Amino acid sequence: MAKAIVYLNQFFGQIGGEEVADHEPEIRNEKVGAAMLYDQLLDGEVTHTIICGDNFMGSNEEQAVDRILGFLKDKEFDIFFAGPAFQAGRYGIACGAIGKAVKEEFDVSVISSMNEENPGVKMYKKDIYIFPGGKSAAKMRDDVTKMVEFGNKILSGEKLLPAEQEGFFKRGIRHQYFLEDETPAYERAIDMLLKKINGEDFVSELPIPEIDTVEIADPIKDLSKATIALVTSGGIVPIDNPDKIQSASATRWGKYYIADVDKLKNRREESFKTIHAGYDPKAADADPNRVVPVDAMRKYEQEGKIGSLYEYFYSTVGTGTSQDEAARMGKEITQELIENNIQAVIETST
Amino acid sequence: MKLELGNFYVKDIEFGSETAFNDGILTINKEEALEVVYKDEHITEADLKIVKPGDMVRLVPVKEAIEPRYRKGGGPVFPGVTGSLLQAGDGRTLALKDMSVLVVGKHWGGYQDGLIDMGGEGAKYTYFSKLKNVVLVADTDEEFEKQEQQKKNHALRWAGMRLSEYLGKTLKDQEPEEVESYQLDPVTKRSDEVNSLPNVVMVMQPQSQMEDPGYNDLNYGWDTNPMLPTFMHPNEVLDGAMISGSFMPCSSKWSTYDFQNFPLIKRLYQEHGETINFLGVIMSNLNVVMEQKERAAQFVAQLAKSLGTDAALVAEEGYGNSDADYIACLVALEDAGVKTVGVSNEAPGRDGGSQPLVTLDPKANALVSTGNVSELIKLPPMDTVIGELESLARDGLAGGWEDDEILGSSVKEDGSVIMENNSMFCGDQIAGWSTKTMKEF
């Protein structure tokens, strides 16, 4: 019989409300709360329930994920359910984070459900199956039913249909598909052409993602008076990575004080290193100035070519980082730079 | 210009004492047919086979497909290629329908060659499994390219054309069962009624990205690489002016058969005078250098504008680098006020997660998508293989590989295969037949 494990937060795991949102992750050898509903509907059995407080996951994601993956190491399971998270943002993000990790570590299908407004949808729809869900727990039965029906289909080995037919959020994963009605491309092309000519609605078979281009800024009038900041997606951080920036698919950034240094010291000197997993770190670890060129900027400062180098540099990791996350981090960093009256930024990538 | 295509439907093909077409049966004197093949001294070994839909036969490496035809009056079916130049698209040409001549390498394949399964689950991946086929399986002494991944396949492709003309000649003195008539009045001399309809052109981007001669599609025998976009009559395309080349992963290619039957053109003809005024074909190409791509797009847009075009269908024979030509052409047309629909395949990778075209532009907002070049396909062993199965793994076919740390070789010991759609013979059917699309999963 197929085995499933369910992830719930402190509330749906019947620990309590917001006051216990710091509840540390635990695994129980039983069906708790909503897990019972999954068990009823599933062509199989829910063997365990994992419960974790939303705040605990939110502020200690790496630790929480590691501990949960540890719980699962010796368990046999064929499918993993997380949520439904409705419109609860922290819960949605938690379901996505743990779901993604479970999928990567154990290569099983992971299914969740969230309301379309839940930020977890945008962050994780590419990584796991997320079904559009209700706004609140009133929709619990409907949402779980959708998730389990799809889970049953996966377990039975039945061929999965495109996202629009199965109902989960599109994941940006495109495969070729033989049309049931065998409409040839020449009919589809003519149909689309006539509709476009006549100003009628048509559906492109390859929707072009919206391209968000940024206009090039005006040049700086007097560089010798400008304060310039260094920003990198090359993952240069202090040796202990105090902001716990992820090595890939980053969601965090950090800023590091450099007003008192002429150049960044390297990893051997226990100062700066790179945590970027997308390139060979050898050169950056040997001389982090090659990614964040503090030494060159100091020289320009001395020469009077630039006014000054800003006292912090900003860092995150670019590899695998989604466009949405990159844009959010970029906006947050820009906000600080504007508040501190920075005129220009040199952005180094790798 | 008026083209009459006289159709003869082939019910069966068999070998016999005399090459003739009678009552739907094409009989072939094999010895005599092979003499035609051996007219080129570079052909060292050759044989003919007959395969039909449903046969449990796998053909690989397939190099070309051609519809056998006879040009009334006896001129070459492919002017400038199999004979001297003459105007194609005006007059009567007779065709053996529901069949093709397939050209298969006896041993050696290359990047551009493909695979056809006539039966079983692999049959759906190519159009040619639906046809009865005369298969020329042959080898050559073209030693210079035997070990090359890119092959011109000159001797084999030309042998295929000779053979198809030889078979087409059986129709010489016969009356066709059916005549398809294709006629367009000169662009400036059309009735008010037709002129009042939206003006539409078909923009074709045939494969022309090899700078060395011998690989690209030919236009009346002229290499399409050093060609600037030009205005052609659609009848010319349907009547042998264009032949397929020998470059590009196979699923993205247009065979010569595809040019002869180009479904997008035939469909535009159906609408002509009803919903659109079909102006004709702008024959563009695909390039390597950015400036060449931009120049071609600029020429297409200018021609379209000068012709008073309202809307255009654009089809690309290729993917990857040439997506830049495809998108540039669509954008140039949209910028010129021409409403466009594009037809091509995509390359989002085996996992389907990558960017589908090399370049994207929001102006390309109406695209028909005919397949994923990298889709992984597993097929069971077949009773018979024509050609050499090992070529799929050994010879650098675009969708085959010799070794992969997870998947192993494309060709398994039991004769089953694992391959990318890339090597399905003209599999993405960008000429318009494709019943495949792309969906999000």
Q: Do A179 and B362 touch (CB under 8 A)?
A: no
Of A98, A123, A119, A122, nearest in space to A111 by CA? A98
Same domain, A131 and A193: no
Residue the block writes with tokens 């570590």: A105
| Residue A215 located in a structural domain | no
Bridge partners (DSSP) listed for residue B232: B281
Q: Say whether B407 sits in a helix, a strand or coil.
A: coil
Q: Is A305 within the bounds of a domain?
A: yes
* Number of separate domains in chain A: 3
Range of the domain at A240: 223-348
Please check whether residues A51 and A152 belong to one and the same domain: yes
B420 by DSSP, 3-state: which?
strand
**Range 211-230 of A in CB contact (< 8 A) with B:** 211
B197 assigned to some structural domain: yes
Contacts for A160-168 with beta carbons within 8 Å, 24 or more apart?
A160/B441, A162/B439, A162/B440, A162/B441, A163/B439, A163/B440, A163/B441, A164/B439, A164/B440, A167/A131, A167/A132, A168/A111, A168/A125, A168/A129, A168/A130, A168/A131, A168/A132
- We report the CATH number of the domain holding residue A8 as 3.40.50.2300
Residues 6+ apart with CB under 8 A from B63: B103, B104, B105, B112, B113, B153, B156, B157, B160, B246
Q: Which residue among A179, A190, A210 places its CB closest to the CB of B362?
A: A210
Residues A22 and A90 in one domain: yes
Q: Which of A163, A186, A208 is opposite residue B440, by nearest beta carbon?
A: A163
- For residue B74, tell me if it sits in a domain: yes
Q: How far apart are CA B18 and CA B25, in angstroms?
A: 12
Q: A162 with A39, same domain?
A: yes
Q: Clarify whether residues A196 and A64 are in a common domain.
A: no
Same-domain check for residues A99 and A187: no
- The verdict on A182 and A260 lying in the same domain is no
Per-residue pLDDT of B277-319, as tens digits, reads 999 999 999 999 999 999 999 999 999 999 999 999 999 999 9
Measured between alpha carbons, how far is B139 from B132 in angstroms, rounded to an integer?
Answer: 22
**pLDDT (average), residues B411-435:** 97
As a whole number of angstroms, the distance between CA B204 and CA B326 comes to 10
Q: Which domain holds residue B221?
A: 2-423
How many distinct structural domains can be found in chain B? 1
Q: Residue A231 domain-assigned?
A: yes
* DSSP letter (8 states) at residue B276: B
User: Does the CB of A244 have a partner CB in chain B at under 8 Å?
Assistant: no
A208 touches chain B (CB under 8 A): yes
User: Do A157 and A14 belong to one domain?
Assistant: yes
CB contact under 8 A, B124 and A197: no
Q: Judging by beta carbons within 10 Å of its beta carbon (0-12, 13-18, 19+), is residue A220 exposed, middle or buried?
A: middle
Any domain includes B432: no
Q: A156 with A204, same domain? A: no
Q: How distant, in Å, are the alpha carbons of A56, B20, B176 from that of B164?
A: 74, 13, 18
**What is the residue-level pLDDT of chain A in tens, covering all 350 positions?**
999 999 999 999 999 999 999 999 999 999 999 999 999 999 999 999 999 999 999 999 999 999 999 999 999 999 999 999 999 999 999 999 999 999 999 999 999 999 999 999 999 999 999 999 999 999 999 999 999 999 999 999 999 999 999 999 999 899 999 999 999 999 999 999 999 999 999 999 999 876 667 888 899 999 999 999 999 999 999 999 999 898 777 889 999 999 999 999 999 999 999 998 777 788 999 999 999 999 999 999 999 999 999 999 999 998 767 667 788 899 999 999 999 999 999 999 87
User: Does residue A160 sit in the same domain as residue A198?
Assistant: no
Q: What are the E-state strand segments in chain A? A: 3-9, 26-28, 45-52, 79-82, 109-114, 129-132, 174-178, 227-232, 236-238, 254-257, 272-274, 308-315, 344-348
* Residue B168 to residue B160: CA distance in whole angstroms: 12
Contacts of A203 (CB under 8 A, 6+ apart): none
In whole angstroms, give the CA distance from residue B119 to residue B58.
8
**Chain B contacts in chain A segment 153-192 (CB below 8 A):** 160, 162-164, 170-179, 182-190, 192
Average per-residue pLDDT for chain B: 97
Q: Which of A164, A197, A211 sits opposite B339 (nearest CB)?
A: A197
Per the rule left: phi > 0, alpha: psi between -120 and 50, beta: everything else, B153 is left
Residue A84 resides in a domain: yes
**Identity of the residue in B264, B362, B438 whose CB atom sits nearest the CB atom of A176:** B438
Share of chain B above pLDDT 90, in %: 94
What is the C-alpha separation between A243 and A255, in angstroms, rounded?
A: 9
The answer, for B122 touching chain A at a CB cutoff of 8 Å, is no
Q: Is residue B429 part of a domain?
A: no
- Digit-coded pLDDT (tens) for B34-64: 999 999 999 999 999 999 999 999 999 999 9
Q: A341 and A204: one domain? A: no
Give residue A277's pLDDT: 75
Residue B428 lies in a domain: no
Residues of A within 8 A of B124 (CB-CB) are: 178
pLDDT confidence band for B349 (50 / 70 / 90) = confident
Tell me whether residue B354 is in a domain.
Answer: yes
The C-alpha atoms of residue B45 and residue A269 are separated, in whole angstroms, by: 71
Claim to verify: residue A201 and residue A312 sit in the same structural domain = no
Residue with tokens 């039975």: A156
The tens digit of pLDDT for each residue in B25-36 reads 999 999 999 999
